[in-house]
Amino acid sequence: MLEMINIAIKTIFIENMVFAFFLGMCSYLAISKNFNAAFGLGLAVIVVELVTIPLNWFLKTYFLEPGALAWLHPSFSAVDLSFLTFLVFIATIASSVQLVEMVVERFFPALYTALGIFLPLITVNCAILGGSLFMDERDYSFGESVFFALGAGIGWFLAIVLFAAVRQKVRYSNVVKPLRGLGLAFIITALLGIAFMGFAGIKL
Amino acid sequence: MSKTTVKQKKEGLFSRKYLRYLLDPINDINPITVQVLGICSALAVTVKLEPAVVMAIAVTAVTAFSNLTISLLRNTIPHRIRMIVQLVVISSLVILVDQILKAFAYDVSKQLSVFVGLIITNCIIMGRLEAFAMGNKPWPSLLDGIGNGLGYGAVLIIVAFLRELFGSGTVFDIPVIPQALYELGYVNNGLMLLPPAALITVGVIIWIHRWLNPKLIDVS
C-alpha cells in the first residue's frame, strides 16, 4: 500500500507531468489565462486520467500484450497485438472523453460552458495519452496504475492552477513587448519547474 | 455571375501561392512560436541533436501524409465523427513510423520512448487537419503539412543545438568545445540538460522571433 502511495506522490511532485515531461503543454498554455477555467480543466483531467489509465490497463493486459489472448483459447497464446497499442489507447481515450463530456453537460452545465471547446481537446491532451503510455512502458500492476493515474491527474491540476495564478498577477506588470504573452509564459513555467526540481531530493 | 466563373489560369505545382503554403509556417505562422501547437514533444526530445532531428523528420512525415489523407477524405467524413476518423488516420501513420524506427534506428527509438507515440496527440497534426486539410484540396494540404513539419523541425533543431552545445559541449556527439577552454576553467552548464532549460530556450527564441517580426507581438 505504502508503495502505491509513493508512486502517487512521485508522479505529483518529482515526475510532474508538466514540469518533468512537458505533457499537456498545449492546453496548459491556452487555458491558463483564466483561473476558473484552469481549475475546471484541471479537475476534468484528473477524472479522465482516472478513467482511461485503468481502462487501458485492462485492454493492455487482456488483449494487447504478447500472449494476453490466452484466456480466450490456448492456441491464441502466441498472438502479439502490441503494435496496436497506440490505436487502442487513443480510441479508449477519445470515447471516454466523449462520455465525460456528456456527463458534465448533463449534470454540471456551468462547468460545461466554462470549459467550452476545451473538453473535447482533452482527447489530444498529451498528458492523458502519455499517462497510458507510461503505464504501459513501466509495466505497472492494476493497483499501481490507479495510483499513478491519480498522481498524474493531480500533478497536472496543480501545475495549471499554480501557473494560472501567476499569470493573473503578471498581467499587471510591465513586460518588454516582444516577451509579452507566450514568451513570458514559457519562462514562468521554467521557473516553476526549477521550483519543482527541489522535490527531487525527497527519498521515497 | 459569368464573370466569377471565368476559367482560372492553370497554376503550376510550385506557383507562388502554393509556395506560400510551404514557407509561411516556417516564419510567420510557425507552429511552435506563433500557433503554440506541439510544444510537448518539442521540449522533451531536445536534449541532444540526434533524437531531435529524427523527431522532426517523423513529425514532418506524419503531418504531411495525414494532411494528404484527410484532405482526400474530406468530403466523405461525417462532421460529428471527424475527430475519431482523424485520430485513426494519425495513429495508423504513427504506428508505421514507430515500427520503422524500431527496425532501423532502435537506439533513437528507445531514447524517444513514449514521445513517438505522443506524435498522435501532437496538436500540430490535429490542428492542421482541422484548420487546413478539412477545407482544402490535397496538394495544398500536403504542402501545408510539410511546411508545418519543417517549421516545427526548425525550432526543434535550434533548441536541441543550443542545449547540446552548452549542456554537453558537443554537436551530434562530437566534442566541439576545445580542451583548452576547459583547462581555463570552462564548465558545461548542467542546467541546460534539465527540463526547465528547454522552456527558457524556447521562451527566448519566441522573444527574439517577435522582436525581429513585430507584427506577431501579443496585443493583450
Backbone angles phi, psi at B56, to 5 degrees: -60, -45
Contact B199/A187, CB-based, under 8 Å?
yes
* Local structure of B176: helix, strand or coil: coil
Contact A26/B198, CB-based, under 8 Å?
no
Say how far apart CA B41 and CA A124 lie, in whole Å: 13
Residue A184 CB partners (closer than 8 Å, separation 6+): A170, A175, B203
Say how far apart CA A81 and CA A126 lie, in whole Å: 23
Q: Taking residues B78-99, what's their average pLDDT?
A: 82
Residue B78 CB partners (closer than 8 Å, separation 6+): none
Q: Which of B68, B220, B49 is nearest to B149 (CA)?
A: B68
Chain B nearest CA to A94, separation (Å): 7
Say how far apart CA B79 and CA B89 lie, in whole Å: 16
Q: Is B203 on the interface with A (CB under 8 A)?
A: yes
Percent helix, strand and coil across chain A, each to the nearest 5: 80, 0, 20
* Mean pLDDT, chain A, integer: 83
Question: In DSSP terms, which residues pair with B175 in a beta bridge?
Answer: B170
CA angle, residues A104, A105, A107, in degrees to nearest 5: 65
Closest-approach residue (CA) in chain A for B127: A124
Domains of chain A: which residue ranges?
A: 2-195
Encode pLDDT of B146-189 as tens digits. 888 888 888 888 888 888 888 877 787 777 777 777 777 777 77
Q: Taking residues A137-145, what's their average pLDDT?
A: 87
Question: In DSSP terms, which residues pair with B174 in a beta bridge?
Answer: B171
Contact B18, B194 (CB under 8 A): no
ipTM above 0.90, yes or no: no
**pLDDT for A149:** 92
Q: Which of B213, B118, B186 is nearest to A133 (CA)?
A: B118
Question: Residues of A with CB below 8 A from B198's CB?
Answer: 22
Say how far apart CA A186 and CA A200 lie, in whole Å: 21
**pLDDT for B5:** 47
Encode pLDDT of B105-147 as tens digits. 888 888 777 778 778 777 788 878 877 877 888 888 888 888 8
Q: Is A177 on the interface with B (CB under 8 A)?
A: yes
**A114 pLDDT tier (thresholds 50, 70, 90):** low
**B37 pLDDT tier (thresholds 50, 70, 90):** confident
Q: Taking residues A36-52, what's their average pLDDT?
A: 85
Domains of chain B: which residue ranges?
A: 31-213
Contact B148, B128 (CB under 8 A): yes
Backbone angles phi, psi at B98, to 5 degrees: -60, -45
